[in-house]
Structure 1
Amino acid sequence: MDAKELLRCERSAIRLAIEAGAMMTAASGRNKEIAEKDSFADLVTETDKAVEKFLFNELKRLFPDFRFIGEETSSRVGLTADPTWIIDPIDGTMNFVHTFPCTCVSIGLTVNKVPVVGVIYSPFLDKLYTARKGSGAYCNGRPISVSKNCNSLSEALLLCEFGNQRDDEKKNAVFRNLEAVGWLVHGVRCMGSAALNLCSVADGSADAYWEFGLHVWDMAAGAVIVTEAGGVVMDTKGGPVDIMNRRILGACCDKIGHELSAALPIHLDLESD
């Protein structure tokens, strides 16, 4: 894909993300039609479905030859080398249900299985994060960069999540890892949105983030935003990230990423998407 087409993709994703954000704000409030998916903590609302349908319809009209993966309409899908839009219509649905503002629409584009465009819009925080491969990362049109003054885990603010799985294996892993790293760092925060966690690493307001149990739509856009902001994304074990493998570690630099990876005692091997 040439630079001109990549720019068209990014501009289209930005326009549609802003329109999707308006749909989210119009639906804000606790009177929602809510359904459970895999657990009582894994929710979907009518707005998730409406936003995804809107984005798919518009992107298919603009890019009819591309492939598509979305949270609410895709299951057990494989990622190919073809240009693929990857959409999370509302990342942080639990937050959306409770009117907690850390929620967003996430639109990523992969080519040859590599994220090349990322657009994440949080209408309630009024933050629009954008990046395309080789062109830097931005928030509301201004360049952003990862933190440059975090030299060790003892100076780091970390982000993580409990996730929506409620099985004993996940519970054990979450609490063992929190126990292992919680006292090594400045602090640990849980915001409830994988996409915004990655953006927080990208804009320097946090130094690293890890999570198990994610899906490709949680990570695709945020991964390119972090790397274009000068950070790194990797597997929690320290190797190259595979956005289909349901786990990710994002950090302000390679040193912090590998220190965090080494400090985590448990690395869950979950079934791939």
Structure 2
Amino acid sequence: MEDPWQRAYDFAVEVARKAGAEIRNAGDSEIRVMTKSSTVDLVTKTDERVEKIIIGSLIEEFGEGTHCFIGEESVAKGEPCILTDKPTWIIDPVDGTTNFVHGFPFVAVSIAFAVNKQLEFGVVYSCLEDKMYKARKGKGAFCNNEQIQVSDVKDIHKSIIISEHGTDRSPEKVTKIFSTMQKILCIPVHGLRGSGTAATNMCLVATGAVEAFFEIGIHCWDIAAGAVIVQEAGGILLDVDGGPFDLMSRRMISANNDTIAKRIIKEIEIFPVARDDTPAETQ
């Protein structure tokens, strides 16, 4: 029986590489910084242009109206963020915009594909490193065509944990974020890290470079592709309260195994965030 999504998977890799080249070649004129939800939630002309290139390429390849799209910049402009049963592309054109603006060398293109609300594949192109991460459900995870696997560390004291502080600067949330980080450091663990891009952080879990990544306040487009890559590399995904992973919940821990994940979960101070699929007018 013919694989219905192999063509889409192969094309996603091609489009991600094309988008990454656009990011690398962006001139200074495109790094004019604008803001979205706050003064630290940045967007550039490159974010918007690259998303248009990705979506335009997919429509040209697969036809108008055959697939749905959830794109970070489209949602920021008011498009709905609803995951249906229809074939759906979930796109972050420039994951790590703040890094891009400042020249910090971790910027990724993240493209995922879901059918019947289930993620089928994910592609993350860390374009400044020229590392192409990809995974299909049931077929393993790869970086530059070499198969990758999570680490086998089970001792929390020998782990590196990765997280981010997000773009919400409300004092009560910042206090909880840094309190959580302090408690994890004092377990103790070998270290805490952060690349500035959720997609890259998840790929670092998948390669075994770190044992876990967690964050509250992320969006579905930040983590959809990475979710497939982590799972296909042998890792797990959970809600930060230990329950099942929910792509639209804006909170997640990905880890190499259940032992590490549950030990980190004990230290996480949870705060409320609106779901991605909650209409803006009700938030």
Q: Same fold (TM over 0.5)?
A: yes
Matches within 5 A, 1:175-254: 175-184=178-187, 185-254=189-258
Within the candidate set 143, 147, 154, 2:147 is matched to 143
Q: Is the contact made by 1:28 and 1:99 (CA closer than 8 Å) also made in structure 2? A: no
TM superposition outliers: structure 1 runs of 4+ over 3 Å = 28-31
Query: Does the CA contact (< 8 Å) of 1:30 and 1:99 recur in 2?
Result: no
Residues of 2 paired with 1:107 and 1:66: CA distance?
A: 14
Counterparts of 1:234 and 1:3 in 2: how far apart (Å)? 32
Counterpart AA for 2:111: I
Aligned position for 1:104: 108
* TM-score of the aligned structures, taking structure 1 as reference length: 0.95
Other-structure match for 1:129: 133
Aligned position for 1:54: 53
Q: How far apart, in 1, do the equivalents of 2:213 and 2:44 lie?
A: 27
Give the partner amino acid of 2:93: P
Q: Deviations over 1:43-87 (max 9, x none)?
A: 000000000000011112223311100000124421112111000
Give the SS at the match of 1:269. coil
How far apart, CA to CA, are the structure 2 residues paired with 1:146 and 1:84?
27
Structure 1's unaligned 5+ residue stretches are none
Q: CA deviation at 1:14?
A: 0.2
Q: What corresponds to 2:42 in structure 1? A: 43
Does the 8 A contact of 2:30 with 2:45 survive in 1?
Answer: no
Contact 1:241-1:248 within 8 A present in 2 as well: yes
Cα-Cα RMSD: 1.4
Equivalent positions of 1:76-87 (< 5 A) are 76-87=80-91
What secondary structure, in the 3-state scheme, does the structure 2 residue paired with 1:5 have?
coil
Specify the alignment match of 1:269 in structure 2: 272
Residue number among 165, 169, 172 corresponding to 1:169 in the alignment:
172
- Residues in 2 aligned to 1:83 and 1:99: alpha-carbon distance in whole angstroms: 35
* Counterpart for residue 68 of structure 2: 67
Calculate the TM-score normalised by the size of structure 2: 0.92
Shift of residue 177, structure 1, vs aligned partner: 0.6
Cα pair 1:22 1:123 within 8 Å, conserved: yes
**Does the 8 Å contact 1:159/1:190 carry over to 2?**
yes
- Percent identity of equivalent pairs: 42
Unaligned runs of 5+ in 2: 277-283
Secondary structure of the 2:5 match is helix
